[in-house]
């Protein structure tokens, strides 16, 4: 046990990787699910221990293969990525029980082992991006997670899933290419791929290298923004979320874009923040303008969607806008708000998409017009939808309010009261699209086809209710979420020039 | 295709050399160009050549679909398993130095095992992809 303690950073990646391989070897639906469940439940323990270690003794460095950094690949865990690791693995653990019935129905018993294999590979990739301290290794993990995501999406039962997956493949590959070009430029400038080492070398780089640095910054920002679906680089996301199997959408919406946001934060603050005076470049202005555009345009489009999964996908785009807004404003309160929204949005959106998955499981449709009166037939499911929906709107007492409160405080600190106004105005649009569903589900007489609909089985209902409860819990007790996010923000801002 | 004598005899003549070359590339990878990936591709090319000349079912007798699909994860298991073995021998993940008494021998052994894993996965993947294309629409 003592021996494994020091290997926790490697175990975080090796466990899902080996799990995925074993799942592909056993290939039997139920056994594959059991293995996946065990892996998903072990991972939060590992990341919890890492988080505890980091909070009590400071950053952990793990030299892969025994080659010391900066020569070898280093896994480096500090407050920020311990927080992201905890988020990804905890969400994976909570939503896993939901998968069995939902995946068996939508993907089929025959293919479900492959589905779980791809899920574990995706999980290994996402955790890898978060844990690694090596810029090129992050690219490799980014591609592992993206490639498996394409498969997860393509396994959707609607044929349009194939087009959506292909579209994501093209856009994701362009993003990855931009990322590698950026890393390549950094390598030419510094001769290093280790993030800490790059940051130190850039900080003392001669001024004539500034132009190459800005080019690297631009390539990395655009490349990662494609992966995290920042408006207007978002075109792959709505189709991918709408046609992927319900459970894959739950997982991806709660984790994939969050990890990409982490990577952007890491580059902006930990690497370029110490080398370039970011305030002299229009980085913040561009990010804020695009975030505000995302908040409004995506929310408006969401109001007009009839496919509810598609509607929630557009809502995700708007919520990504909030997270990026916090990064753009970049002061203590706003960055805390942006980071805490990673968690809060993951919880709320996972709950909303799980409600959609339950709906599809019982009724076979997620079209708004076909679910009139479903609230009385599936009260717990739609009740959870209402709670998580209120969170997305940002009602006081829910987790969504906490994020927006921090963002508003951050904007006010800068004296940008217009942003506060825009924040409230965009929340009002989300009242429209969430309200439309609530009105249809609860205030209409039940449609004829829904007579036999009822709440889904307990294995699906429990994760949903748990996350709905978490939406309220983290709206009241914010020590765990905003507390750690605040520490991470402080850590990031401390490294700025 | 069955009537084409030159193709059939030519394939039979060339097959052992393809496989021998695959083994050479595999085991010479540390000193010369090559390694598990290239060796895996060459070995898979032998199976694909058989499929093209003698038909799909002949290739499946050499490399059944079930075997091929198990080879894909098996190679990764060998690779990752080597890394895990390093944990238990007191090193970091993939720190091959601890695999033998002498660190240089250990690294040698580690690379050797890992490259076998790569060859297994790559050849399995190549053949599995080929089968997937051949069997489309059947």
Each residue's pLDDT tens digit, A260-286? 999 999 999 988 887 777 777 888 889
- Answer whether A198's CB lies under 8 Å from A220's CB: no
Could you give the C-alpha distances from A213 to A217, A273, A497, in angstroms and in order? 6, 11, 15
Instruction: Give the closest-approach CA distance of B121 to chain A in angstroms.
Output: 11
pLDDT at B94: 82
Instruction: Give the closest-approach CA distance of A271 to chain B in angstroms.
Output: 27
Mean pLDDT for the stretch of residues A186-203? 91
Nearest to B70 among A3, A25, A66 (CB): A25
Averaged pLDDT score across all residues of chain B: 88
Mean pLDDT for the stretch of residues A40-55? 93
User: How far is Cα A73 from Cα A56, in angstroms, rounded to an integer?
Assistant: 24
Contact B77 A3 (CB under 8 A): no
Q: What residues make up the domain containing B85?
A: 5-134
Contact A65 B94 (CB under 8 A): yes
φ, ψ for residue A358 (rounded to 5)? Answer: -65, -40
Each residue's pLDDT tens digit, A205-215? 888 888 889 99
Residue of A nearest to B91 (CA): A66
Instruction: Give the closest-approach CA distance of A484 to chain B in angstroms.
Output: 29
Read off the pTM: 0.93
Among A300, A344, A352, which Cα is nearest to A322's?
A: A344
Q: Does a cis peptide bond (omega within 30 degrees of 0) precede residue A168?
A: no
Taking the Cβ of residue A64 and every Cβ of chain B, the question of whether any pair is shorter than 8 Å is answered with yes
Contact B74 A7 (CB under 8 A): no
pLDDT at B2: 59
Contact A10 B93 (CB under 8 A): yes
Of all residues in chain A, the percent with pLDDT exceeding 70 is: 99
Of all residues in chain B, the percent with pLDDT exceeding 70 is: 97
Each residue's pLDDT tens digit, A242-261? 999 999 999 999 999 999 99
User: How far is Cα A397 from Cα A64, in angstroms, rounded to an integer?
Assistant: 44
Mean pLDDT for the stretch of residues A484-493? 90
Each residue's pLDDT tens digit, B16-67? 999 999 999 998 877 778 888 999 999 999 999 999 999 888 889 989 988 9
Show the CA angle centred on residue A198, arms to residues A194 and A200, nearest 5°: 120
pLDDT at A497: 66
Mean pLDDT for the stretch of residues A282-303? 92
Among B123, B35, B117, B111, which Cα is nearest to B77's?
A: B117
Among A171, A164, A287, A169, which Cα is nearest to A230's?
A: A287
- Answer whether B18's CB lies under 8 Å from B42's CB: yes
- Answer whether A93's CB lies under 8 Å from A41's CB: yes
Residue of B nearest to A64 (CA): B93
Q: Does A1 have pLDDT greater than 60? A: no
More confident residue, B80 or A447: B80
Mapped to the 3 state alphabet, what secondary structure does chain A carry?
Answer: CHHHHCCHHHHHHHHHHHHHHHHHHHCCHHHHHHHHHHHHHHHHHHHHHHHHHHHHHCCEEEEHHHCCCCCCCEEEECHHHHHHHHHHHHHHHHHHHHHHHHHHHHCCHHHHHHHHHHHHHHHHHHHHHHHECEHHHHHHHHHHHHHHHHHHHHCCCCCHHHHHHHHHHHHHHHHHHHHHHHHHHHHHHHCCCEHHHHHHHHHCCCHHHHHHHHHHHHHHHHHHHHHHCCCCCCCCHHHHHHHCCHHHHHHHHHHHHHHHHHHHHHHHHHHHCCCCCHHHCCHHHHHHHHHHHHHHHHHHHHHCCCEHHHHHHHHHHHHHHHHHHHHHHCCHHHHHHHHHHHHHHHHHHHHHHHHHHHHHHHHCCCEHHHCCCHHHHCHHHHHHHHHHHHHHHCCCCCHHHHHHHHHHHHHHHHCCHHHHHHHHHHHHHHHHHHHHHHHHHHCCCCCHHHCCCCCCCHHHHHHHHHHHHHHHHHHHCCCCHHHHHHHHHHHHHHCCC
User: How far is Cα A486 from Cα A491, in angstroms, rounded to an integer?
Assistant: 9
Q: Among A9, A11, A16, A24, pick the best mutation site for testing chain B contact (most B Cβ within 10 A).
A: A24
| Chain B residues touching A25 at Cβ < 8 A | 70, 73-74, 77
Q: Does A405 have pLDDT greater than 60? A: yes
| Residue A126 confidence class, pLDDT cut points 50, 70, 90 | very high
User: How far is Cα A237 from Cα A233, in angstroms, rounded to an integer?
Assistant: 9
- Answer whether B72's CB lies under 8 Å from B44's CB: no
Nearest to B73 among A24, A63, A65 (CB): A24
| Residue A74 confidence class, pLDDT cut points 50, 70, 90 | very high
CB atoms within 10 A of CB A441: 27
Nearest to B73 among A7, A21, A62 (CB): A21
Contact B92 A14 (CB under 8 A): no
Structure token digits, residue B21: 């070359």
Taking the Cβ of residue A21 and every Cβ of chain B, the question of whether any pair is shorter than 8 Å is answered with yes
| Residue A3 confidence class, pLDDT cut points 50, 70, 90 | low
| Chain A residues touching B97 at Cβ < 8 A | 66
Number of compact structural domains in chain B? 1
| Chain A residues touching B77 at Cβ < 8 A | 18, 21-22, 25
More confident residue, B64 or B87: B64
Contact B87 A10 (CB under 8 A): yes
**CA A449: distance to chain centroid?**
35
Contact A65 B95 (CB under 8 A): yes
Each residue's pLDDT tens digit, A356-369? 999 999 888 888 88
Contact B95 A25 (CB under 8 A): no
Of all residues in chain B, the percent with pLDDT exceeding 90 is: 50
User: How far is Cα A395 from Cα A409, in angstroms, rounded to an integer?
Assistant: 16
């Amino acid at each position: 046990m003592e021996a494994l303690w020091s290997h926790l950073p490697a175990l975080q990646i090796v466990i899902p990787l080996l799990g995925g391989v074993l799942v592909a070897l056993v290939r039997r639906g139920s056994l594959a699910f059991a293995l996946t469940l065990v892996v998903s439940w072990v991972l939060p323990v590992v990341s919890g221990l890492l988080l505890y270690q980091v909070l009590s003794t400071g950053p952990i460095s793990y030299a892969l293969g025994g080659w010391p950094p900066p020569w070898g690949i280093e896994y480096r865990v500090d407050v920020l990525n311990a927080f992201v690791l905890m988020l990804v693995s905890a969400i994976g653990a909570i939503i896993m029980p939901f998968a069995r019935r939902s995946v068996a129905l939508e993907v089929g018993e025959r293919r479900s082992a492959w589905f779980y294999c791809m899920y574990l590979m995706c999980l290994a990739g996402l955790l890898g991006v978060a844990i690694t301290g090596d810029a090129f290794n992050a690219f490799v993990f980014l591609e592992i997670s993206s490639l498996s995501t394409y498969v997860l999406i393509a396994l959707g039962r609607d044929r349009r899933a194939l087009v959506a997956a292909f579209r994501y493949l093209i856009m994701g590959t362009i993003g990855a290419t931009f990322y590698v070009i950026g890393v390549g430029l950094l390598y030419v400038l510094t001769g290093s791929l280790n993030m800490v080492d790059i940051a130190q070398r850039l900080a003392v780089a001669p001024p004539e290298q500034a132009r190459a640095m800005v080019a690297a910054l631009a390539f990395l920002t655009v490349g990662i923004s494609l992966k995290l679906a920042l408006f207007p680089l978002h075109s792959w996301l709505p189709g991918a979320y709408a046609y992927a199997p319900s459970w894959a959408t739950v997982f991806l919406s709660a984790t994939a874009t969050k990890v990409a946001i982490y990577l952007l934060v890491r580059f902006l603050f930990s690497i370029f923040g110490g080398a370039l005076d970011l305030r002299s470049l229009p980085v913040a202005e561009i990010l804020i303008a695009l975030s505000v555009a995302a908040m409004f345009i995506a929310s408006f489009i969401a109001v007009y969607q009839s496919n509810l999964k598609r509607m929630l996908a557009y809502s995700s785009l708007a919520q990504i806008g909030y997270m990026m807004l916090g990064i753009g404003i970049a002061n203590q309160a706003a960055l805390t708000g942006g980071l805490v929204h990673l968690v809060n949005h993951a919880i709320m959106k996972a709950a909303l998409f799980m409600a959609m998955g339950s709906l599809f499981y019982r009724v076979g449709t997620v079209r708004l017009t076909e679910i009139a009166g479903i609230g009385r037939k599936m009260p717990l499911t739609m009740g959870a939808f209402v709670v998580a929906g209120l969170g997305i709107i940002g009602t006081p007492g829910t987790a969504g309010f906490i994020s927006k409160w921090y963002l508003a405080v951050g904007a006010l600190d800068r004296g940008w009261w217009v942003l506060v106004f825009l924040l409230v105005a965009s929340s009002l649009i989300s009242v429209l699209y969430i309200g439309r569903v609530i009105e249809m589900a609860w205030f209409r007489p039940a449609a004829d086809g829904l007579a036999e609909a009822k709440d889904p089985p307990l294995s699906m209902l429990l994760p949903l209710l748990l996350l709905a409860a978490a939406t309220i819990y983290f709206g009241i007790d914010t020590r765990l979420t905003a507390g750690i996010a605040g520490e991470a923000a402080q850590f990031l801002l401390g490294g700025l020039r | 295709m069955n009537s084409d004598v030159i193709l059939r005899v030519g394939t039979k003549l060339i097959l052992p050399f393809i496989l021998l070359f695959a083994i050479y590339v595999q085991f010479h990878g540390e000193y010369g160009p090559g390694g598990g990936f290239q060796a895996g591709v060459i070995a898979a090319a032998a199976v694909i050549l058989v499929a093209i000349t003698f038909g799909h079912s002949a290739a499946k007798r050499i490399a059944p679909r079930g075997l091929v699909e198990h080879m894909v994860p098996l190679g990764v298991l060998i690779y990752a398993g080597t890394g895990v073995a390093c944990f238990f021998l007191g090193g970091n993940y993939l720190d091959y130095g601890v695999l033998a008494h002498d660190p240089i021998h250990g690294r040698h052994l580690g690379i050797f095992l890992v490259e076998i894993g790569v060859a297994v996965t790559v050849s399995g993947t190549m053949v599995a992809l080929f089968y997937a294309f051949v069997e489309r629409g059947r």
